[in-house]
Chains A and B, each alone.
Chain A
Amino acid sequence: MNSFPIIRVITKLLIPYILLFGLYVQFHGDFGPGGGFQAGVIFAAALILYGLVYGLPAVHKVAPPKVIEKLTALGLLVYAGTGLACMLLGGNFLDYDMLNHGFLTELPAALDFLPGDKPHHFLPEGQHLGIFLVELGVGITVTAVMTMIFYAFAGRERVTT
């Protein structure tokens, strides 16, 4: 792909927006369409696009395979860990109501000078926090697995018969 300047330039222009859109889909998934599965795939699509245009060594520098392998497990651990945290706080597995906390849920008095509408929830709590963490776990796992599968296919050499 090195000999196609248009593709290289357009890719460089597009990738930041794809990543930004992935983040939006991930963290806005409770309010609009979206969530961990979609965000993970979009993130992986950005990495795969980079790998297709600039070659496998370039994308290995951005997202090293060793890190990606660990991230697959990390996402699942974040998910299961959220459930276990709920158990440790005295509820059932994945009972997010246990995650209620009083820390910074309202706007602190020190920030009263800020103009405009005051945010209703300053930090998410309870169900919102639980859904946030769980979707984060799903997003990490899906991104990592999709990228890892792409690495596995792209790193394979064609056999001659």
Chain B
Amino acid sequence: MTEILGLYNYWIVIFLMMTGFYIVIARENLIKTIIGLNIFQTSVFLLYITMGKVTHGTAPILKASHGGESHGVEGHGADHGHELHVAAEGHVDLGVDAVKEVYSNPIPSVLMLTAIVVGIATTALALALVVRIREEYGTIEEDEILEMDRNS
């Protein structure tokens, strides 16, 4: 049961990914293919974001603190000593409020943020190519285009 609860996010992402893959390989309309690529791409974003989530974590925007000293700690595993140290310091500074915040990982967010914008740029390029293909060949069906290429 824990196996299922721990992994179902990945399975959903894989399902979405495979749906996008299916659209890309099974459909011969160029616009439909681009839609499939988009769905595949979004599922990759979701995969990364899913991996960055920490249970009971919050968005990686640090709470405002006094004098630039941060009390935010992310993750539990690596540096236990340092974590305790910060928590103790927070206790001195803020008293009861110094509850340790857990932040989700910001690195997948950063990677996917740039990937989304680059993705729209490449999608726009692909759509521009589709428009030009339609003007040259009069169709956006892949097999008809290949047929014309063979006959010419």
| Complex: A in contact with B (CB within 8 Å) | yes
Q: Is the CB of B134 within 8 A of A153?
A: no
Query: How many A residues have CB within 8 A of the partner chain?
Result: 15
With A31-B61, A33-B59 known, 12 other A-B pairs at CB within 8 A are: A33-B61, A35-B113, A37-B113, A142-B117, A145-B121, A146-B120, A149-B124, A152-B128, A153-B128, A153-B131, A156-B131, A159-B134
**Interface residues in chain A, defined as those with a beta carbon under 8 Å from any beta carbon in chain B:** 31-33, 35, 37, 41, 142, 145-146, 149, 152-153, 156, 159, 161
Instruction: Give chain A residues whose Cβ lies under 8 Å from the Cβ of B121.
Output: 145
Interface bracket on B: 10 to 19
Q: B residues within 8 Å of A by Cβ? A: 59, 61, 113-114, 116-117, 120-121, 124, 127-128, 131, 134-135, 138
Q: Which of B124, B131, B138 contacts A161 (CB 8 A)?
A: B138
Tell me which residues across on chain A come within 8 A of B128, comparing CB atoms. Answer: 149, 152-153
Q: Choose from A35, A146, A149, A159 the contact partner of B135 (Cβ within 8 Å).
A: A159
Residue with the greatest number of chain B CB neighbours at <10 A, chosen from A142, A145, A146, A149: A149
- 6 pairs from A and B in contact (CB 8 Å cutoff): A142-B117, A146-B120, A149-B128, A152-B128, A153-B127, A153-B131
Which A residues are CB-close (under 8 A) to B114? 37
In the complex, which residues of chain A have a beta carbon less than 8 angstroms from the beta carbon of B59?
33
Across-interface contacts of B117 in A (CB, < 8 A): 37, 41, 142
Kindly report which residue of chain B lies nearest to residue A32, judged by CB atoms.
B61
- Cα A19 to Cα B111 in complex, Å, equals 26
